[in-house]
């Protein structure tokens, strides 16, 4: 099984191009501010890799992909960034003021106020131009998870944080699942490659990295360990549920933390975690039969059980961002675009429809 996992992760690394080989910024417009032009709307969304899906306060669905950032208004898709950048986009955030932030691999972050864009890069103080995650804390600061640490933007300037000091990685570095079978060196660059950021109910910030997950209390970064004293390696997703509990997903599977005890729900690799309106926990994880990744739902009423009720919805080569829209539909991204699940049917916006 480990050999199959090794082959799968090697393929993932090669296809996504996120880990080993930095992509050069591919901006069509080098200006910091670019006025939006009339973009073309179509009935289909992106056809390639989709990483994150979010719904804004007006009900629009925002989709970040290797082909740009798309907005879906319920009828058509519009590539918002097509005239601004050809970068590969990873994440999207609507801040409390209604403005949008887009994270890219190689071109930093883009701020969009609905009319124009501003591009922030290392020249403006960003820790690294390879950005995968965006989070807004309780005070309104915007946090960016980058390959070179976390950047906090207060509306005027950036402050950068490294979980552990170490050398930056080189193009020759590789990440293999077997790498995590031995302790990571204290100064390894993966400790500052940030995948996920969340603020807990007492104001501490949790960081999931390709190295070890850690908690920041405003002064010190502390590595998080489970009940056996083992650190959580390569945490890809961290969420806070409606009760204030923390969920972590990564190489060590799916874990729940209630403020005092860590509980493990699966040891299979988990790439993404989402809580729906009913309190069900959705995950994208490694399939038990090596069919790629599986979209699963953990029933809210059974989460207190030793073995909760888990329903597998579908399999894909990989499954990324998960979202429940205001109508109760579940959206998720994959290598082949964006998909919507209404409880019985999965609709692909490449024109394919699968009946459950």
Q: In this structure, what token pair is assigned to residue 304? A: 């207190």
Query: Quick check: is 177 in a domain?
Result: no
Q: What is the pLDDT of residue 11?
A: 47
Residue 198: which CATH number? 2.130.10.10
Q: What is the pLDDT of residue 94?
A: 98
Asked if 128 contacts 148 with a C-beta cutoff of 8 angstroms, the reply is yes
Give the integer Cα–Cα distance in Å for 347 and 331.
Answer: 9
Instruction: Give me the domain span that covers residue 145.
Output: 2-165+188-355
Query: Quick check: is 334 in a domain?
Result: yes
Residues constituting the chain: 356
Asked if 82 contacts 71 with a C-beta cutoff of 8 angstroms, the reply is no
Asked if 248 contacts 213 with a C-beta cutoff of 8 angstroms, the reply is yes
Neighbours of 166 (CB within 10 A): 17
Query: Quick check: is 147 in a domain?
Result: yes
Q: Exposed, middle or buried, 4 (CB in 10 Å: 0-12/13-18/19+)? A: exposed
Asked if 276 contacts 330 with a C-beta cutoff of 8 angstroms, the reply is yes
Q: Is the dihedral of CA 8, 10, 14, 19 positive or negative?
A: positive
Q: What angle do CA 315, 352, 290 make, to 5 degrees?
A: 15
3-12, 16-25, 280-289 — which is least confidently predicted?
16-25
Q: What is the pLDDT of residue 227?
A: 83
Higher pLDDT, 254 or 11: 254
What tens digit of pLDDT does each residue of 113-153 get?
999 999 999 999 999 999 999 999 999 999 999 999 999 99
What tens digit of pLDDT does each residue of 217-248 get?
999 999 999 988 999 999 999 999 999 999 99
pTM passes above 0.75: yes
Task: Give percent of the chain with pLDDT exceeding 70.
Answer: 79
Q: What total number of domains does the chain contain?
A: 1
DSSP one-letter string for 240-291: E-TTS-EEEEETTEEEEE-SS-EEEEE-S-EEEEEE-TTS-EEEEEE-TTSS
Neighbours of 11 (CB within 10 A): 13
Q: What angle do CA 275, 280, 283 make, to 5 degrees?
A: 65
Query: Quick check: is 181 in a domain?
Result: no
349 backbone dihedrals φ, ψ, rounded to 5°:
-85, 20
Buried residues in 129-154 as b, exposed as e (16+ CB within 10 A): bbbbbbbbeeeeebbbbbbbbbbbbe
Query: Quick check: is 307 in a domain?
Result: yes
Region 263-268 average pLDDT: 94
Query: Quick check: is 312 in a domain?
Result: yes
Q: Is the dihedral of CA 199, 205, 208, 210 positive or negative?
A: positive
Query: Quick check: is 175 in a domain?
Result: no
Q: What is the pLDDT of residue 19?
A: 38
Q: What is the pLDDT of residue 228?
A: 86
Q: What is the pLDDT of residue 306?
A: 82
Q: What is the pLDDT of residue 213?
A: 94
What tens digit of pLDDT does each residue of 285-325 get?
988 776 789 999 999 999 998 889 999 999 999 999 999 99
Local confidence band at 163 (pLDDT 50, 70, 90 cut-offs): confident
H/E stretch holding 238: strand 235-240
Query: Quick check: is 176 in a domain?
Result: no
Give the integer Cα–Cα distance in Å for 214 and 141.
Answer: 19
What tens digit of pLDDT does each residue of 70-93 get?
999 999 999 999 999 999 999 999
Q: Is the dihedral of CA 298, 302, 305, 309 positive or negative?
A: negative
Helix residue spans in 17-170 (DSSP H): none
In this structure, the dihedral spanned by the alpha carbons of residues 61, 62, 65 and 70, taken in order and rounded to 10 degrees, is 90
Q: Exposed, middle or buried, 320 (CB in 10 Å: 0-12/13-18/19+)? A: buried
Q: What angle do CA 154, 159, 161 make, to 5 degrees?
A: 130
Give the integer Cα–Cα distance in Å for 92 and 218.
Answer: 25
């Amino acid at each position: 099984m480990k050999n199959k996992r090794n082959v799968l992760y090697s393929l993932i690394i090669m296809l996504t191009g996120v880990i080993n080989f930095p992509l050069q910024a591919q901006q069509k417009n080098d200006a910091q501010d670019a006025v939006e032009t009339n973009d073309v709307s179509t009935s289909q969304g992106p056809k390639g890799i989709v990483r994150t899906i979010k719904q804004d306060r007006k009900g629009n669905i925002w989709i970040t992909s290797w082909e740009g950032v798309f907005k879906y208004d319920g009828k058509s898709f519009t590539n918002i960034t097509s005239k601004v950048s050809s970068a590969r986009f990873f994440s999207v955030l609507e801040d409390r003021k209604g403005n949008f932030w887009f994270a890219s691999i190689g071109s930093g972050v883009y701020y969009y106020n609905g009319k124009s864009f501003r591009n922030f890069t290392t020249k403006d103080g960003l820790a690294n131009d390879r950005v995968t995650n965006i989070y807004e804390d309780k005070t309104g600061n915007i946090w960016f998870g980058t390959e070179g640490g976390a950047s906090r933007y207060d509306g005027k300037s950036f402050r950068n944080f490294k979980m552990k000091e170490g050398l930056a990685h080189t193009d020759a570095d590789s990440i293999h699942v077997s790498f995590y079978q031995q302790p990571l060196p204290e100064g390894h660059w993966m400790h500052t490659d940030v995948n996920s950021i969340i603020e807990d109910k007492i104001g501490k910030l949790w960081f999931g990295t390709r190295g070890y997950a850690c908690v920041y209390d405003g002064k010190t970064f502390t590595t998080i360990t489970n009940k056996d004293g083992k650190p959580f390696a390569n945490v890809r997703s961290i969420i806070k549920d409606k009760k204030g509990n923390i969920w972590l997903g990564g190489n060590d599977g799916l874990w729940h933390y209630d403020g005092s005890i860590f509980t493990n729900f699966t040891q299979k690799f988990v790439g993404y975690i989402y809580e729906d309106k009913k309190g069900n926990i959705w995950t994208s994880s490694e399939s038990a039969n090596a069919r790629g990744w599986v979209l699963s739902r953990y029933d809210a009423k059974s989460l207190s059980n030793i073995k909760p009720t888990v329903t597998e919805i579908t399999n894909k080569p990989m499954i990324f961002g998960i979202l429940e829209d205001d109508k109760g539909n579940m959206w998720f991204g994959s290598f082949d675009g964006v998909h919507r699940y209404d409880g019985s049917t999965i609709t692909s916006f490449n024109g394919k429809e699968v009946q459950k």
